[in-house]
């Protein structure tokens, strides 16, 4: 399997391992790929978990209560049947919150949007036609001061990543409070991976937060420098490879062998990494070789 260039990352207070075990128990074709602990961070010792859900890689961390997951970034599950929609809905529902009830809609014979007990949002849908090949699709909702900028953001992201394009755009018409012509829904592709986007002028109390971010696996320092220069728009958010772009989403721009780099002499590589803004590979390699 080709290494996934962009990997969704979930920030939990203490539940990273528990949540990963839950997801891999309810979704078919899913597994935990690795577990580790980053010691002596400002949040204490942090569990880090890699897991795979139906062919899509995820990462999660338990790093304290600083960020709370909200529905501004959700995950659309493209189902093969209405039966599959019902089954996944039943598994994700306990102790969750319904955002759109499970029902028939103009765009799907069976669809529902739910926030599970860990706060992660899932849009579970059966496409009667035009079903995407990708099973799980990260979906960005542009709210509050970012509302109306979904199309602009999609074009911006596609200008940065190779193998990228914006698909068909379905626009609001006479659907107040959303402005005519803004994005009701669109799929777009980044680095060969499918994403979704929409504007929403409803009175949402949430917008993009660091709790759901996207890791960019970079092959070398040149790639790290490239994505850093293109995406970082909020200097005060630059820390440990993290940046925030001008539309609100957060990205982690890291070497694809980050785990290997950090595992060499972690007593020194961890403090060195925590002091960095942009990750400098040669500096981590140097620290990793120290006695």
Residues contacting 25, CB < 8 A, separation 6+: none
Q: Which CATH class is domain 73-199?
A: alpha beta
pLDDT digits (tens, 9 = 90+) for 260-291: 998 888 888 988 999 999 999 999 999 988 87
Give yes or no on whether 73-199 and 219-291 have one common fold. Answer: no
Domain layout of the chain by residue ranges? 73-199, 219-291
Q: Cα 232 to chain center, whole Å?
A: 17
Report the predicted TM-score, pTM, of the whole model to 2 decimal places: 0.95
Residues contacting 60, CB < 8 A, separation 6+: 9, 10, 11, 12, 16, 19, 20, 48, 49, 51
Q: Which CATH number fits domain 219-291: 3.90.1150.10, 3.10.180.10, 1.25.40.340, 3.40.1260.10?
A: 3.10.180.10
DSSP assignments along the chain, one per residue: -PPPSEEEEEEESS-HHHHHHHHHHHSSSEEEEEEEEEEEETTEEEEEEEEEETTEEEEEEE--TT----TTEEEEEEESSHHHHHHHHHHH-TT-EEEEEEEEETTEEEEEEEE-TTS-EEEEEE-SSS--S-SEEEEEEE-GGGTT-HHHHHHHHHHHSSS-EEEEEEE-SS-TTSPTTSEEEEEEEETTEEEEEEE--S--S----TTEEEEEEESSHHHHHHHHHHH---GGG-BTTEEE-TTS-EEEEEETTHHHHHHSSHHHHHHHHHH-SS--HHHHHHHHT--
pLDDT digits (tens, 9 = 90+) for 223-268: 999 999 999 999 999 999 999 999 999 999 999 999 899 888 888 8
Q: What is the pLDDT along the chain (291 residues), one digit of tens a residue?
A: 457 999 999 999 999 999 999 999 999 999 999 999 988 888 888 999 999 999 999 999 999 999 999 999 999 999 999 999 999 999 999 999 999 999 999 999 999 999 999 999 999 999 988 788 899 999 999 999 999 999 999 999 999 999 999 999 999 999 999 999 999 999 999 999 999 999 999 999 999 999 999 999 999 999 999 999 999 999 999 999 999 999 999 999 999 999 899 888 888 898 899 999 999 999 999 998 887
Residues contacting 87, CB < 8 A, separation 6+: none
């Amino acid at each position: 399997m080709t290494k996934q260039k962009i990997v969704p990352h979930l920030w939990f207070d203490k539940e990273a391992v528990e949540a990963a075990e839950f997801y891999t128990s309810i979704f078919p074709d899913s597994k935990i790929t690795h577990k580790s602990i980053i010691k002596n961070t400002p949040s204490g010792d942090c569990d880090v978990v890699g897991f795979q859900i139906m062919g899509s890689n995820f990462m999660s961390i338990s790093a304290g209560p600083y960020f709370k997951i909200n529905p501004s970034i959700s995950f659309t599950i493209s189902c093969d049947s209405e039966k599959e929609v019902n089954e996944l809905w039943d598994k994700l529902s306990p102790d969750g919150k319904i955002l759109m009830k499970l029902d028939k809609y103009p765009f799907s014979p069976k669809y529902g949007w739910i926030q599970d007990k860990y706060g992660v949002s899932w849009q579970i849908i059966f496409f009667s036609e035009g079903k995407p090949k990708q099973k799980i699709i990260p979906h960005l909702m542009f709210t509050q001061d970012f509302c109306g900028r979904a199309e602009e953001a999609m074009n911006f992201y596609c200008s940065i990543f190779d193998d990228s394009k914006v698909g068909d755009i379905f626009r609001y018409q006479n659907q107040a409070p959303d402005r005519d012509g803004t994005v009701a829904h669109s799929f777009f592709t980044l680095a060969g991976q499918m994403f979704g986007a929409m504007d929403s002028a409803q009175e949402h109390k949430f917008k993009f937060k660091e709790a759901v971010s996207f890791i960019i696996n970079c092959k070398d320092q040149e790639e790290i420098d490239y994505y850093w220069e293109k995406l970082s728009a909020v200097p005060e958010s630059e820390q440990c490879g993290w940046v925030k772009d001008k539309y609100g989403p957060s990205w982690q721009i890291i070497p694809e062998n980050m785990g290997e780099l950090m595992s060499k002499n972690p007593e020194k590589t961890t403090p060195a990494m925590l002091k960095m803004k942009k990750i400098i590979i040669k500096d981590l390699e140097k620290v990793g070789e120290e006695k």
